Structure 1
């Protein structure tokens, strides 16, 4: 099955109040009809549903996500990056929340255990702007233009929503090409030692 993942757009360059929907954006960006854009997104919603996920593109609020990215950087310093990222994605793709709005972001930050006042102060400042810009530059250097995008060992890329079989095959090829071995604990090993998997 071929998966069109162009419904997934987190855009830190878009205006805060876009005034158009995901279907109109996809139609303009990729030169497809509105019906094609809707069909692609319906397909993604159905696939997500089969995996226990709830995507609702009809209610998605397109917005500039730069401040949401800054909030993720802020949450990383407080050990809540994974929780914050998950909460933002759920708010954006499933709940139709405006994740470009500071009040919404502060509420979401509090939900994952961050202090409201600290999150609000950070969002009112320019803090973490440079970190987000550096991430954007690095993504550009690696040719990352859409999500999902998986970069392995900073030289191998797996793009798009792939099946588990494709991931396994790709990882096996990478292990062979880089001369790695994987022991039963999941540690990747070469002549310089082993790198334990990140279990955070």
Structure 2
């Protein structure tokens, strides 16, 4: 594990995540693996096409961050999809044929162009990007600043 996260103090990061997630009922388990999330992202797009993105997204988040499951493993994705009421066989067929591979690649390319380096990242026009689990006060301040800038720009026209 240390060779995967050699630049980070994982225990410290996990502690911060737990502290920030606690008020919102988000539980973070121990960080024991670094999963390749490409197939999980494709699973999310499959769920979006089936009208159940949010539930699957939250189930994948919990599987990885709370229970430490490998969301790069097809068996885990199959299980999560089934638990969320999606057809796991249809998901496996979609992943096998690469139905969402290009869509995920385009999204990843766009994120790189926008210099997104972490998830979540929130971009509010005219403000620095907000990255990670941050206090909602930061969002309020950014939105108020953006609204003030927009109002000022509109008044000057």
1:3 equivalent in structure 2: none
**Number of aligned residues:** 152
1:171 equivalent in structure 2: 143
- Once the two structures are TM-superposed, the CA of residue 127 in structure 1 deviates from its matched residue by 1.0
Higher helix share: 2
- Once the two structures are TM-superposed, the CA of residue 46 in structure 1 deviates from its matched residue by 3.5
**Aligned 8 A contact 2:17 2:133 in 1:** no
1:26 equivalent in structure 2: 5
113, 120, 126: which one aligns with 2:92 = 120
Are 2:17 and 1:41 aligned? no
Distance 1:162 1:149 in 2: 10
**Aligned 8 A contact 2:14 2:28 in 1:** no
1:161 equivalent in structure 2: 133
22, 25, 30: which one aligns with 1:52 = 25
Higher strand share: 1
1:9 equivalent in structure 2: none
Runs (4 or more) in structure 1 with deviation over 4 Å come to: none
Gaps of 5+ in 1: 1-20, 181-189, 191-200
1:148 equivalent in structure 2: 120
- Once the two structures are TM-superposed, the CA of residue 144 in structure 1 deviates from its matched residue by 0.1
- Once the two structures are TM-superposed, the CA of residue 50 in structure 1 deviates from its matched residue by 4.7
Gaps of 5+ in 2: none
1:196 equivalent in structure 2: none
RMSD of aligned alpha carbons: 2.1
